[in-house]
């Protein structure tokens, strides 16, 4: 017994502890959203939790217990689709945590929620639940339910992930419309959209970076301007224009959103005939940005 405990503690790290703290906070926020905004506002959530809300409406059976029961077969079926043992264990922990918090908080929170305003419940329900989902994702887990089902469907029928989410959430929204009202179902769709935005911002952070590809015949001056004025790294690759057959250089660099206009001015001064493509990236790791090892 002692040997097993010592082995477990040796495998434990601050990163692992941080991940479980994030998952715990995320599931707690999801439970708050369900109890304070979604259930009182009759706004059905997506996935297993939404199905649990509908069953609760007819039977008064505890929502948290149904979330746990509904996820058990999905966890078993989707174990090999969850990205490895560590990811699957954290997903199982998230499912247990959100199930517990959902039924535990009902003992302390007002049954009527904070407001009877459907718009407020939609906005705050979407934001709070979205932040919760984002924290769970940052802890390298998922909240089970739709996430597991989507992975199973995608691997079974090779259906794109976006279509899989559309299929599963549409079925829940249909049941929600039949249970509550179509007006509430429409608001629930808006809530899911807001939740998705909040999830993305929480997961990736608000500082979305920009990527720049510059095709130029004057790479030395353009690179020098970016290196000295913006203090950003530049990668150069020799390319050939298929239409003209001319040899040019392709420069690649990553910058902040606020530096886009400065970059365009620098390139314009160095090579007015340059071709620029500005893209968007969710994260950048390395020198000048977030460290890869955190």
Confidence of residue 289 (pLDDT cuts 50, 70, 90): low
Q: Which domain holds residue 96?
A: 2-204
Residue 294 lies in a domain: no
Angle of the 47-59 helix axis to the 146-157 helix axis, nearest 10: 120
Residue 135 lies in a domain: yes
Residue 289 lies in a domain: no
65's CB contacts (< 8 A; 6+ apart) are 99, 103
Res 239 pLDDT > 50: yes
- 69, 168: one domain: yes
Do residues 239 and 251 touch, judged by C-beta distance below 8 A? Answer: no
Of the two residues 207 and 107, the one the predictor is more confident about is: 107
- 70, 133: one domain: yes
Confidence of residue 206 (pLDDT cuts 50, 70, 90): low
CA dist., res. 98 & res. 95, Å (int): 5
**pLDDT score, position 5:** 47
- 178, 277: one domain: no
Q: How many structural domains are present in the chain?
A: 2
Of the two residues 92 and 282, the one the predictor is more confident about is: 92
CA dihedral over 170, 174, 180, 183, signed as positive or negative = positive
Res 61 pLDDT > 80: yes
Angle at 49 (CA atoms; ends 16, 182), nearest 5 degrees: 145
Q: Quick check: pTM over 0.75?
A: no
Mean pLDDT for 154-162 is 58
Residue 292 lies in a domain: no
- 167, 130: one domain: yes
Confidence of residue 8 (pLDDT cuts 50, 70, 90): very low
**Worst-scoring range by mean pLDDT, 61-75, 110-124, 135-149, 218-232?**
135-149
CA dist., res. 71 & res. 138, Å (int): 21
Nearest to 58 by CA among 172, 152, 180: 180
- 134, 157: one domain: yes
């Amino acid at each position: 017994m002692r040997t097993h405990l010592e082995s477990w503690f040796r495998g434990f790290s601050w990163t692992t502890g941080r991940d479980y703290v994030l998952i715990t906070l995320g599931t707690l926020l999801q439970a708050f959203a369900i109890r304070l905004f979604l259930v009182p506002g009759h706004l059905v959530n997506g996935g297993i939790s939404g199905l649990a809300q509908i069953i609760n409406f007819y039977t008064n059976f505890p929502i948290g217990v149904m979330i746990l029961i509904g996820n058990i077969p999905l966890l078993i079926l989707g174990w090999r689709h969850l990205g490895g043992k560590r990811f699957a264990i954290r997903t199982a922990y998230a499912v247990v945590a959100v199930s517990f918090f959902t039924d535990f908080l009902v003992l302390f929170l007002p049954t009527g929620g904070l407001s009877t305003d459907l718009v407020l419940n939609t906005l705050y329900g979407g934001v709070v639940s979205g932040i919760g989902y984002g924290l769970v994702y940052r802890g390298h887990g998922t909240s089970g339910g739709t996430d597991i089902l989507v992975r199973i469907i995608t691997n079974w029928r090779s259906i794109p992930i976006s279509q899989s989410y559309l299929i599963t959430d549409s079925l829940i929204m249909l049941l929600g419309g039949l249970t509550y009202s179509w007006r509430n179902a429409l608001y629930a769709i808006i809530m899911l959209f807001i939740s998705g935005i909040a999830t993305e911002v929480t997961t990736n952070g608000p500082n979305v970076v920009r990527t720049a590809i510059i095709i130029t015949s004057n790479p030395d001056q353009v690179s020098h301007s970016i290196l000295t004025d913006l203090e950003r790294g530049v990668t150069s690759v020799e390319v050939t224009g298929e239409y003209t057959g001319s040899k040019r250089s392709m420069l690649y660099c990553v910058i902040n959103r606020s530096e886009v206009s400065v970059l365009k001015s620098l390139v314009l001064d160095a090579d007015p005939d340059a071709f620029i493509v500005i893209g968007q990236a969710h994260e950048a790791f390395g020198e000048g940005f977030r460290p890869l090892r955190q």
